[in-house]
Amino acid sequence: MLDVIKIIDKLKGVLDNESDKKVFDKDVSFALNITQANFATIKQRNKIPFSNILDFCAIKKISINWLFYGQDPSSLIDSTDKYWIKYFPTVSVSAGGGAYDGDDDYEKLEVPPYFTNMLGGVDNVKNIEAINVTGDSMEPTLNSGNIIFLDKTKYDLSKDGIYAFVNENGLFVKRIQKRIDGKLDVISDNKEYPMQIVKKEEINILGKIVGSFGSIF
C-alpha cells in the first residue's frame, strides 16, 4: 500500500532542492494546488491526491515510478517509451459534463512493467487511456479524485462491467448491465442515485474501466 507520508516527504525533498528555506506541509499543499485543510485531511486518511501529484510530476519532470515505487529513474530508460499511456488531466467523468475525444491535451504517463498485467498485458497498453473521476455517484467503488484506466477496445458491452460513456448530458462512468429486453441498466454504485434504463443507441460507449488508483469491484 502506498504511504502518503513517504510520498509527501519525497515531494518536500524535491521542493527543498529548489529553495534555500526549510520546506513545510503548507509549501507542499501550495505546490499541489490543495488547500491546507484538505491537505491535512489527506494525510490523516492516507488518501493520495494522484491527479494533483501527476500534474506536479509533469511540471517538475519527475518520474512517477520513482515517486510512488522508489524505482531508480535510470532503470526506466529502456522501458519508458514502451510502457506509457495517454493521461488526460483535464478530463473528468462521473458527475457529467466535459469532453473527451482522445486526441488532444494529454500527457505521457509512465507505466511500470509489473503494472501492465492489470491493463491487459504489455501488448494492450497502447489501447489504454487514463482519465479522472469526479463526484460521488460511483462510491465506494470509485471515489472523486481517482484516476481510472480505460480500455478503448472494450466497447461492445459483451460483458457487464464499469464503462465510460457519452450521452446527451455529458461524460459519465457507470456500471452497465444488459437486460433481457435488449435495453441497458445504467447503475450508480452509490445507492442514493437511481438506476436508469436506456436503449443501447442512446449512449456512446468509450471503453471499459479495467483498473484505477483505487479498487474496481
pLDDT 10s digits, 129-156: 998 888 889 998 988 888 899 999 998 8
Answer CATH for 1-73 from 1.10.490, 1.25.40, 1.10.10, 1.10.260: 1.10.260
Residue 175 has pLDDT above 70, yes or no: yes
Tell me the backbone φ, ψ of residue 29, rounded to 5 degrees: -60, -40
Tell me the average pLDDT across 158-174: 90
pLDDT 10s digits, 84-116: 888 887 777 754 444 555 555 678 787 777 778
Given this model, what pLDDT does residue 217 score? 45
Give the single-character DSSP code of 127. Answer: G
The pTM score is 0.62
d(CA 128, CA 152): 6
List where CATH 2.10.109.10 sits in the chain. Answer: 79-217
**8 A C-beta contact, residue 149 and residue 210:** yes
Q: In the predicted model, what is the mean pLDDT of the chain?
A: 82
Share of the chain above pLDDT 70, in %: 86
Given this model, what pLDDT does residue 118 score? 80
Tell me the average pLDDT across 115-133: 85
List where CATH 1.10.260 sits in the chain. Answer: 1-73
Architecture of the CATH domain 79-217: Ribbon (2.10)
**Highest mean pLDDT range out of 6-20, 52-66, 197-211?**
197-211
ω before 140 within 30° of 0 (cis)?
Answer: yes
User: Which residues of the chain form beta strands (DSSP E)?
Assistant: 84-93, 107-110, 128-133, 147-151, 161-167, 170-178, 184-187, 196-198, 204-212
